[in-house]
Structure 1
Amino acid sequence: MNSSKKSIKRVFALFALMFLVSIGYIFKIVIVDKEFLTTNSYNPRINSTDSNIKRGSIYDIDGNLMAYSEKDGDAYRRIYVDGENSAHVLGYTGVGKSGVEATQNFTLQKLDNEIMQRLKAFISGDEPEGNSVVLTVDSYLQKIGSDLMRTNNGAVVVIEVKTGRVVCMVSKPNYDPQSVAENWDSLREDENSPLLNRAAQGLYPPGSTFKIVTAVSAMRNLGDVNSFEYTCTGVAEFDGKIIHCYNDKAHGNVNLTSAFAQSCNCYFAELGKKMGAVNLRDTADKLGFNKDFKFDLNSSKSTVLLNGDSTESELVETSIGQGRTTVTPLFMASLTAAVANNGVMMKPYLVDSVLNYSGKTIKTNLPQTLETVFKEEECAKLKEMMTDVVNSGTGYNADSEYFQVAGKTGTAENPQGADHLWFVGFAPAEEPEYAVAVVLENGDGSMNPSVIARKMLYNSIEKENR
């Protein structure tokens, strides 16, 4: 009898546990995963629309119309205003959805004050209209960024330092959102992947821009790193791995500041060896690598895959931004903005506000702090070194007659072709307003990322001051 009672109790406990787990899982789906599931491109509901509802419009930060719907027979047709310059921000509708059209899909279809709108539609014939979305990007800067990229593949991201507002996000190659349905097969099969938002999803080796991370890790783990000097001959060997400086140039006797300005690979490889893989990985983690990067568009995770078992070869490669290290331009722009913002990393965001059918603001997104990733004294040193990069180092093409630019160049080896070219920076260096990240794939010399960055910073600051 006692044995039977114990069995019944165990079965009851098991069922109770299963019930609680089921409730917990349902709670996770409904509350925690709601946003992910409703905006996921694999969700079939994302392509369902109410044909009686006019989809809300999309505006830039100045109120310029970027996308709207107009009546076309019994249905609505989506119109994109100069859509190619902002293709990867806006996205497309019709053959699935992407970009803001996907992530803000339910906002754009949602009816504010639905009863009133339905009544108005019954009386006047005006069909219900979904909410509209105001973005943080500036159409003016989008066009400049797109034009500056010319025919280069890659990305440009500009972020407002104090707020995290993304004021420009350009990805090349782009496409015309208006004709995605007609050109779907060719766009999908194109080897250049024009549908990929390289700014938020593209993963690249960071090259020497990663020396920002290596330098900070050395500050944290090597005591007075400024006293460490190294004699660069242009080439160095580490556990069988040959590290070259650009064009095998010998930089001679260098310290942290001069090696950073001249982007001396041999110095930073030796620096990485001195601090060790565990310390470099720990610093990277604390700066936001290897974490999901939540953003208003689908985005990829930037990763550093060092660990205690990494070889010396893997360590020195990572120290100069090669090896198994990949980043998105969006993340590098945010990291650079954190340096400019005295260590505080703001959450980058793209959706500024939501308007209802009558143009009334019903939701406003405010700046959010993610975390403090740098110490103020680290930022002071980085600003000094990044200024030297522009004034007397590899970033001379970013030098501006209007304000002081601080930045870091990068050349990332690409096993599939020519090197990828990078520049990250901010301006004015003394009181930073905007941070920028530029990457050019397979740099062919037709454009320099430092020049693009300088011009984007100039136009961002000048527009703000007009």
Structure 2
Amino acid sequence: MERGLQRELRREIEEETLRTGTHSVYGDRKPAPRKPGKAEKKKEQQEERRRAKKKKKANRQYVFVTYFFVLLFVGMIGYFSYFNVVQGREIINDSRNPRMDLYENQVLRGSILDKDGNVLAESVENEDGTQTRTYPYEELFAHVVGYSDKGKTGLESSQNFQLQTSNVSFRTKLLNEFRGRKSAGNNITTTLDTDLQQAAYDALGNNRGAVVAIEPSTGKILAMVSKPSYNPNTIVEDWESLNANTEGILVNRATQGQYAPGSTFKVVTTLAYMRQNANYQDYTYRCTGEITAGKNEIHCFGNDVHGTVDLADSLAYSCNTSFSNIGLSLDIDEFRNTAEDLLFDSELPCPLVYNESKFNLQDDDGDAAIAMTAFGQGKLQVSPYHMALITSAIANNGILMQPYLVDQITSAEGETVEKYVPESYKELMTSEEAAQLTEYMQGVVEYGTARSLNSLGVSIAGKTGTSEYSDDKEKTHSWFIGFSNVDNPDLALAVVIENSDSTGDVATDVAGDVFEAFYAE
């Protein structure tokens, strides 16, 4: 009985131990773990998810910070690479860059040469370490070559990077350092033809104006003259008087001059009419010498009466009333598109500083503005350089080649640093359109307003122009655009003469002298 009571007591103690989790008096044996309930499981799962979410959020922040610094580093590398590789030349060419003085202290500025190697600009090192820049041809190349004192202009500006970069051998640089001499900068060989430049300069005489000559098949700029000119050798001494001068001597009229194109723009209007009228060859108009457009009476030059004319005759005789009639028939948006195709209101491919040409005809402009624009007046503004580009494209089957002035860059030791290869810039018109315009422009020379060029012994396609620039109709600019050797064009020209004697003959005569000099070489 006593043993039975002991067993009963022992069982009760063990049950109490299991229920309360206390140790048994009979040893340290742990009770079996209690299984968690559903509520506890849910709570543990929620806690686990919370910890995972917190960890994921922390990881996201670390990733964001990592990517931010990686992108910042890559961006800085990209910026410095772009700055040095892409913008390096632009920065060093900027006359406001104070580090230019450092380059000038280290490098003897390179020379600028014409296409045959004649020196157009060179520097001589003085005993005190300074250098003197000289221009052997004085006024002849003033605007296109420019000057390097009082800032920089022309090629002196656009090629500043190369002129102040020395690519002589390491040995030569080392010897120059040892001797206390400057290493010579790179030399620039241009496309400029000194004989042709001289012919254009002489042909302009005492007139204010500009001449631009381009080789259509390559884009080489062979001559670029602007008058009045100045002597870059004395730019420092003459600086105040040059700036006080009201004739704009320092302005390169070839690229920066803005003029109404006069009747040379009729080539553009002709192209617009051809594009909008498939039957353009059937065009006829009876010229009575005047036409009414809005409230304006428009007359042919010299009050000429041309009678019945077709499109070819209209261009050959430069009939203002016929082109007014053509302009009034055009869709203005399409007219503008044609002008923009020919780079009006657009950037121009130009190696020098230039001004954009403006079409300036709006949809709400009246009939008078439309008619005047059609024959080259109105609010049109264009540079001689731009008209030379259009002429060059017509001569080259509608393709404008990238115009350029720098043929090659060489080190002072004669090693080639860069060599320019001609390349196409843009198709301004189709070859069929160019061929038709060429035929019409030949008529201008054969029986139209530029008949005086027939005596040169070479085929020429051209267009004369006279543009008014004030209320006084006697004050005009004289224009000529054209190209020679029509079957295989050699030379495209644009000529403008300011304040001429109310005819296009002055510019035509200048063009004739330039063409003649070109074929006399």
CA spacing shift, 1:184–1:58, aligned 2, 3 Å: same
Preserved CA contact (<8 Å) 1:433 1:461: no
Choose which of 377, 402, 409 in structure 2 pairs with 1:347.
402
Q: After the TM superposition, which residues 22-171 of structure 1 pair with which residues of structure 2 at under 5 Å, given as runs?
A: 34-45=88-99, 49-74=103-128, 75-113=130-168, 115-124=170-179, 126-171=181-226
Preserved CA contact (<8 Å) 1:336 1:424: yes
**Does residue 455 of the first structure (1) align with residue 510 of the second (2)?**
no
Preserved CA contact (<8 Å) 2:89 2:161: no
**Does residue 420 of the first structure (1) align with residue 474 of the second (2)?**
no
Choose which of 255, 279, 292 in structure 2 pairs with 1:224.
279
For 1:174-201, what per-residue CA distance to the aligned partner results, in whole angstroms no more than 9, with x for missing partners? 0000001000011112100110011111
Secondary structure of the structure 1 residue equivalent to 2:328: helix
Secondary structure of the structure 2 residue equivalent to 1:181: helix
Give the partner amino acid of 2:226: S
CA spacing shift, 1:104–1:316, aligned 2, 3 Å: same
The CA distance in 1 between the partners of 2:488 and 2:312, in whole Å, is 21
Choose which of 339, 353, 376 in structure 2 pairs with 1:321.
376
TM-score (norm 2): 0.82
TM-score (norm 1): 0.91
CA spacing shift, 1:115–1:433, aligned 2, 3 Å: same
Give the partner amino acid of 1:73: E
Preserved CA contact (<8 Å) 1:438 1:453: yes
Give the partner amino acid of 1:121: N
Choose which of 348, 351, 361 in structure 2 pairs with 1:293.
348
For 1:23-53, what per-residue CA distance to the aligned partner results, in whole angstroms no more than 9, with x for missing partners? 9988876666555444345555556642242
For 1:316-345, what per-residue CA distance to the aligned partner results, in whole angstroms no more than 9, with x for missing partners? 121111112111111111110111111111
Counterpart for residue 365 of structure 2: 310
Give the partner amino acid of 1:69: S
Give the partner amino acid of 1:437: A
1:116 CA displacement: 2.8
**Does residue 389 of the first structure (1) align with residue 447 of the second (2)?**
no
CA spacing shift, 1:12–1:362, aligned 2, 3 Å: closer
Counterpart for residue 195 of structure 1: 250
Preserved CA contact (<8 Å) 1:408 1:423: yes
For 1:218-242, what per-residue CA distance to the aligned partner results, in whole angstroms no more than 9, with x for missing partners? 0001221121211111111111132
Secondary structure of the structure 1 residue equivalent to 2:378: coil
Choose which of 297, 313, 320 in structure 2 pairs with 1:242.
297
**Does residue 376 of the first structure (1) align with residue 431 of the second (2)?**
yes
Secondary structure of the structure 1 residue equivalent to 2:108: coil
CA spacing shift, 1:30–1:126, aligned 2, 3 Å: closer
1:274 CA displacement: 0.5
1:115 CA displacement: 3.4
Instruction: Give the stretch that moved more between structures: 181-190 or 72-81.
Output: 72-81
Instruction: Give the stretch that moved more between structures: 121-130 or 28-37.
Output: 28-37
Preserved CA contact (<8 Å) 2:190 2:406: yes
CA spacing shift, 1:162–1:435, aligned 2, 3 Å: same
Counterpart for residue 10 of structure 2: none
- Structure 1 unmatched ranges of 5 or more: 1-8
For 1:73-122, what per-residue CA distance to the aligned partner results, in whole angstroms no more than 9, with x for missing partners? 31110110112111001111221111111111111010114633321213
Preserved CA contact (<8 Å) 2:213 2:493: yes
The CA distance in 2 between the partners of 1:289 and 1:209, in whole Å, is 14
1:17 CA displacement: 11
Counterpart for residue 5 of structure 1: none
Counterpart for residue 499 of structure 2: 442
The CA distance in 2 between the partners of 1:388 and 1:371, in whole Å, is 27
1:360 CA displacement: 2.1
Give the partner amino acid of 2:514: M
1:247 CA displacement: 1.3
CA spacing shift, 1:27–1:262, aligned 2, 3 Å: farther
The CA distance in 2 between the partners of 1:47 and 1:424, in whole Å, is 43
1:310 CA displacement: 2.9
- Structure 2 unmatched ranges of 5 or more: 1-62
Which structure has the bigger radius of gyration? 2
Secondary structure of the structure 1 residue equivalent to 2:353: coil
> Which is richer in helix?
2
1:20 CA displacement: 10
For 1:288-320, what per-residue CA distance to the aligned partner results, in whole angstroms no more than 9, with x for missing partners? 222111322111212212233333222212111
Preserved CA contact (<8 Å) 2:497 2:507: yes
1:420 CA displacement: 0.6
Preserved CA contact (<8 Å) 2:257 2:384: yes
The CA distance in 2 between the partners of 1:342 and 1:44, in whole Å, is 46
Secondary structure of the structure 2 residue equivalent to 1:441: strand
Give the partner amino acid of 1:427: S
Give the partner amino acid of 1:289: F
1:413 CA displacement: 0.6
The CA distance in 2 between the partners of 1:315 and 1:33, in whole Å, is 43
1:399 CA displacement: 2.3
CA spacing shift, 1:247–1:363, aligned 2, 3 Å: same
The CA distance in 2 between the partners of 1:116 and 1:400, in whole Å, is 59
